[in-house]
Amino acid sequence: MNKPVFIIGTMDTKGKELSFVAEQIRASEGSAVIVDAGTSGQPQEAADVTRETVAKHHPDGASAVMEHEDRGQAIIAMSEALRIYMLAQHEAGKVGGAIGLGGTGGTSLISPALRALPIGMPKALVSTVASGNTEPYVGITDIAMFNSVIDISGLNAISRKILGNAAHAIAGMVNHAQEVENTKPAVGITMFGVTTPCVSRVRETLEADGRECLVFHATGTGGRAMEHLTRSGMIDVVLDLTTTEVADEVVGGVFRAGPERFDYLAQSPTPCILSLGALDMVNFGAMDTVPEQFSTRKLHVHNASVTLMRTTPEENRAFAQWMAHKLNQAVGPLTVVIPEGGVSLLDAPDQPFWDPVADNALFEELEKLFVQTDTHRIVRLPCNINDPEFSDFIAQEYRSLISS
């Protein structure tokens, strides 16, 4: 292991645990750097990188971190300084991987620094909150979360095992890091279970053309991850075929991607082909979690954990308005493809969500509001999104975009 693992935590409360993780990594023939991100109290043991060194990386200097009287504000400031410090170490080529240890406060402090490191770099977090909702800490990145089971407070039969497992896991990731050189053009594609036939056929066609296809599950984090990689220059063309996250954002489902969805179009000239996949549905959890105000709506049990609600004409017009505002700001080539025969497997004749009136409300409102130019256009196809002719058109449109 040529580059070290950076072990991050607060040495005043978790010094012994951080040192134990370092010992375990070194026992795996790795190197380790302990980083103190504490803001109060005396360190239990010496760190390789002191809190003062980290604090100096805050935009307003070390005093903005170390001289706060309010502990909460000091932690927020240290988190920002740590993020900048870790990015600087990475950019200098010094980081092989990173692992943090923390309770609720420590997890919030450390996780922004781990999220800032590139996708694919080994990173882990041993946390007391790893068994709950980890989205605020992991976000759209590939942080490996280890549930500490007990509090990270002292070394004992349980904590030694869990910390040891995490240490050897991060050491293994760094020791056996995959060096992948990709020279193929990368295509980002959004997919849902009900648009799988469409995306699978497109993917197979483009892979046969020598393209690298990255498929993102449109569950909120999927859309955000695709856009993040696009802004980072890691995706050459976007096929945003499954835009169901808009329905959850507008109506209040569980797979919201946030109000920033599609904002990358105004920031990046990356070509995009966009469709309306799965906008016939809003996603909720199990049936008993569907909000009371939707109890009389058309509901479909997708599985024990997912209940789908058919969208109405009024909601579909709202989706079109929400989308058109964003799409009209695109700075790169953009083709919007409308599948007149339905937007999902469930939105087809004899299927539970077949509703041409609701679909037409979406199609007509979007066509009315979308401003077409030489590089921004709408195409209507008389087929379902999962029909082969739809997928074949997408593949051909892709070829046209990259050749123009």
Other CB atoms within 10 Å distance of the CB of residue 71: 11
Q: Give the per-residue pLDDT at 67.
A: 87
Taking the C-alpha atoms of residue 61 and residue 56, their distance in angstroms, rounded to an integer, is 5
- With 90 as the cut, is the pLDDT of residue 72 above it? no
DSSP line for 22-33 = HHHHHHTT--EE
Percent of residues, the chain, with pLDDT higher than 90: 88
Q: Give the per-residue pLDDT at 350.
A: 96
- With 70 as the cut, is the pLDDT of residue 182 above it? no
Reported as a single tens digit per residue, the pLDDT across 94-145 is 999 999 999 999 999 999 999 999 988 999 999 999 998 898 999 989 999 9
Q: Give the per-residue pLDDT at 29.
A: 85
Q: Give the per-residue pLDDT at 181.
A: 65
Phi and psi at residue 14, in whole multiples of 5°?
-135, 30
- The class that CATH gives domain 5-175 is alpha beta
CATH topology of domain 186-403: Rossmann fold (3.40.50)
Taking the C-alpha atoms of residue 184 and residue 62, their distance in angstroms, rounded to an integer, is 44
Amino acid, single-letter form, for residue 358: A
Reported as a single tens digit per residue, the pLDDT across 203-248 is 999 999 999 999 999 999 999 999 999 988 889 999 999 999 999 9
Q: Give the per-residue pLDDT at 71.
A: 83
Residue 44: pLDDT band with limits 50, 70, 90: confident
Q: Give the per-residue pLDDT at 373.
A: 96
5-175 shares its CATH topology with 186-403: yes
pTM value is 0.81
Letter string b/e over residues 304-343, b meaning 16 or more CB atoms within 10 A of that residue's CB:
eebbbbbbbbebbbbbbebbbebbbebebbbbbbbbbbbb
Residue 1: pLDDT band with limits 50, 70, 90: low
Domain boundaries, the chain: 5-175, 186-403
Compute the average pLDDT of residues 347-361: 97
Q: Give the per-residue pLDDT at 98.
A: 98
- With 70 as the cut, is the pLDDT of residue 53 above it? yes
Average pLDDT for the chain: 94
Using alpha carbons, list the distances in angstroms from residue 107 to 49, 99, 134, 378: 19, 11, 10, 45
- With 90 as the cut, is the pLDDT of residue 399 above it? yes
Using alpha carbons, list the distances in angstroms from residue 158 to 28, 75, 110, 128, 285: 20, 28, 23, 13, 34
Q: Give the per-residue pLDDT at 220.
A: 94
Reported as a single tens digit per residue, the pLDDT across 238-295 is 999 999 999 999 999 999 999 999 999 999 999 999 999 999 999 999 999 999 999 9
Compute the average pLDDT of residues 54-77: 92
- With 60 as the cut, is the pLDDT of residue 365 above it? yes
